[in-house]
């Protein structure tokens, strides 16, 4: 297994200075690749055409088909913990998002639980800046609300950031009801609100293109982070975008679920042994819904599809720009979702309880107005089950449906078209991957005069270059979210999902034989269970969960 080397801080600084001078010296040409990281928000595993969807996503499908699909890529169960792991290369419980800022628990405010990307880690954007890259971000930050914890403070040269976890896609309404208007910050300027003609997917993309284009004369490679808020609720899209899907979902979620699994199988992405969800597990059979209920449910999925399709459309604009300036072939593009599909609904459950008063005050959810900037709906658990496909669970869950996300990489310099890799990989691997491509060193336990948790991920470059199939042969993958716990090593995975109504016990699954996690085989495999539980105790101690 090849990892970037860890070296003393002073040597790392000298390397970075030499890289910058070489890139900027007369006649010097910096041939290192540009890196574009695209993150979708709450998008399920099957929502792109390349992953089985009926939603047209030709631009993203092209990137996936011309690159490498990572079929076992793991994020965190929710958004800000995933983003903290992405930017630190280590566990969210060390990076500041052991608990989300929106849902503080008894540990909130303690080290690792600050609710923002803490300073006990080195930020990916800072490290890429040190390596001589121009750094840009546009979209959802969700790693700190203050100027001191903003993207500009953590290494981005230019940034246009939604500071909160969600907001309206059309216009500037908040999505949480705490403030009337969502909070945005450009660079290190004052917090502001966007205008009514704002459309998140379009404007995030075009702002990023503008940042890249402004600095083109500097002849430096760039690291660009495009953090869409689509298709996170509230479901909103322009009328003309929604109209493209009129009537497409009138047959309901059960029919769509089966058709997506069929397409996944045709594309070679349906894991052998996967089990389709029992239709009785939908909250209601489609045929049992009234005509009006079916009509409303169909419209919600139409809006969701429009949001995914528009994301693809504007990724197409970014691709066209990179082609126009002759940078496309020297750009690595990595795409992922931040967690599994979101099953929560504004009609019932905790989301409704927290947002009901706000929705009643702000929004018009009449059928004719659904999808507008002053409407506020989600698509709910049944469409989310469709998005999750063969995998059990969804957002907040540590079953595969909550943490295994769609991911692929386009990098023509190293990756032959049409590659698929099924080895487990993780969001923490991206930081060392990008640093290796930038010819930079991983930080050790000190960075800019402070103690840090060194990155724990492993570079995926050897996989991209075809040297090896896996960089995690002997590693484990552990996740925790408010008591939901899981750990995978090799083919085996243990899961604990506490249930207040009954005794909560660890379960054991063999993901090769049972990728849908339907058969708990703990009783028949006591030695494997004991080994994985011991690894969990090791992990819990390492990240402070056992304290």
The residues, any chain, with a CB within 8 Å of residue 289's CB and separated by 6 or more, are 252, 297
Could you tell me which of 179, 186, 187, 125 has the C-alpha nearest to residue 152?
187
Judge if the upstream peptide bond of residue 148 is cis by omega within 30 degrees of 0: no
Q: Length of the chain, please?
A: 547
**Rounded to a whole number, what is the distance in angstroms from the first to the last CA of the chain?**
32
Assess whether 142 carries a catalytic annotation. Answer: yes
Quote the CA–CA distance of 83 and 81 in Å, as a whole number. Answer: 5
Active-site residue, selected from the candidate residues 79, 232, 362, 472: 79
Burial of 256 per CB tally in 10 Å (0-12, 13-18, 19+): buried
Quote the CA–CA distance of 37 and 284 in Å, as a whole number. Answer: 38
Could you tell me which of 58, 260, 225, 244 has the C-alpha nearest to residue 128?
225
CB of 147 closer than 8 Å to CB of 153: yes
Q: Collapse the DSSP code of 282 into the 3-class scheme (helix H, G, I; strand E, B; otherwise coil) and give the result.
A: coil
The residues, any chain, with a CB within 8 Å of residue 10's CB and separated by 6 or more, are none
Adjacent-strand bridge partners of 481: 484
Could you tell me which of 138, 296, 302, 158 has the C-alpha nearest to residue 225?
138
Quote the CA–CA distance of 487 and 502 in Å, as a whole number. Answer: 22
- At 76, list the tokens: 């965190």
Quote the CA–CA distance of 542 and 528 in Å, as a whole number. Answer: 21
The residues, any chain, with a CB within 8 Å of residue 541's CB and separated by 6 or more, are none
The residues, any chain, with a CB within 8 Å of residue 332's CB and separated by 6 or more, are 33, 34, 35, 36, 409, 410, 411, 413, 437
Cα separations in angstroms, 409 against 68, 163, 421, 434, 498: 5, 27, 11, 12, 35
Could you tell me which of 307, 312, 285 has the C-alpha nearest to residue 370?
307
Active-site residue, selected from the candidate residues 16, 93, 142, 453: 142
C-alpha 356: how far from chain center: 27
CB of 6 closer than 8 Å to CB of 426: no
Burial of 159 per CB tally in 10 Å (0-12, 13-18, 19+): buried
Cα separations in angstroms, 195 against 171, 229, 306, 373: 6, 17, 21, 11
Quote the CA–CA distance of 31 and 26 in Å, as a whole number. Answer: 15
Could you tell me which of 163, 178, 165 has the C-alpha nearest to residue 355?
178
Catalytic residues: 79, 142
């Amino acid at each position: 297994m090849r990892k970037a080397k860890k070296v003393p801080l002073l040597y790392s600084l000298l390397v970075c200075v030499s890289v910058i001078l070489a890139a900027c010296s007369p006649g010097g040409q910096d041939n290192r690749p540009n890196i574009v990281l695209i993150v979708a928000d709450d998008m399920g595993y099957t929502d792109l055409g390349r992953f089985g969807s009926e939603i047209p996503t030709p631009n993203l499908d092209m990137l996936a088909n011309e690159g490498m699909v990572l079929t076992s890529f793991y994020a965190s169960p929710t958004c800000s913990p995933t983003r903290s792991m992405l930017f630190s290369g280590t566990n969210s419980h060390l990076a500041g998002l052991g608990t989300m800022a929106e849902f503080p628990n008894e540990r909130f405010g303690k080290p690792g639980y600050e609710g923002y990307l803490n300073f006990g880690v080195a930020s990916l954007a800072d490290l890429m800046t040190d390596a001589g890259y121009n750094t840009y971000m546009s979209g959802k930050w969700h790693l700190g609300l203050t100027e001191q914890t903003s993207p500009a403070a953590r290494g981005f040269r230019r940034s246009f950031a939604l500071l909160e976890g969600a907001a309206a896609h059309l216009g500037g309404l908040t999505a949480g009801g705490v403030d009337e208007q969502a909070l945005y910050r450009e660079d290190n300027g004052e917090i502001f609100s966007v205008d009514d003609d704002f459309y998140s997917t379009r404007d995030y993309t075009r702002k990023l293109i503008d940042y890249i284009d402004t600095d083109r004369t500097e002849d430096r490679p760039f690291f660009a982070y495009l953090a869409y808020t689509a298709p996170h609720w509230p479901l909103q899209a322009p009328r003309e975008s929604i109209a493209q899907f009129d009537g497409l979902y009138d047959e309901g979620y059960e029919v769509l679920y089966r058709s997506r699994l069929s397409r996944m199988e045709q594309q070679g992405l349906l894991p052998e042994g996967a089990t389709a969800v029992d239709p009785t597990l939908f909250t209601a059979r489609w045929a049992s819904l009234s005509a009006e209920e079916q009509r409303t449910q169909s419209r919600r999925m139409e809006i969701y599809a429009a949001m995914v399709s528009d994301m693809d459309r504007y990724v197409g604009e970014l691709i066209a720009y990179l082609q126009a300036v002759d940078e496309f072939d020297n750009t690595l593009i990595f795409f992922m979702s931040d967690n599994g599909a979101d099953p929560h609904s504004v009609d019932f459950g905790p989301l409704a309880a927290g947002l009901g008063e706000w929705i009643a005050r702000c929004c018009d959810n009449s059928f004719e107005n659904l999808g507008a900037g002053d409407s506020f709906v989600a698509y709910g658990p049944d469409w989310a089950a469709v998005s999750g496909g063969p995998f059990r669970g969804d957002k907040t869950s540590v079953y595969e449906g909550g943490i295994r996300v769609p991911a692929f990489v386009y990098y023509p310099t190293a990756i032959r078209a049409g590659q698929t890799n099924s080895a487990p990989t993780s969001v923490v691997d991206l930081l060392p991957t990008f640093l290796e491509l930038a010819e930079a060193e991983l930080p050790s336990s000190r960075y800019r005069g402070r103690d840090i948790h060194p990155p724990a991920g492993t570079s995926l470059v050897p996989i991209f270059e075809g040297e090896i199939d896996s960089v995690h042969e002997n590693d484990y993958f552990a996740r925790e979210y408010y008591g939901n716990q899981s750990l995978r090593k090799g083919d085996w995975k243990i899961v604990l999902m506490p249930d207040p109504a009954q005794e909560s016990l660890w379960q054991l699954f063999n993901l090769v034989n049972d990728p849908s996690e339907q058969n708990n085989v703990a009783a028949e495999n006591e030695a494997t269970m004991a080994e994985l539980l011991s690894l969990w105790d090791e992990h819990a101690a390492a990240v402070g969960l056992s304290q």
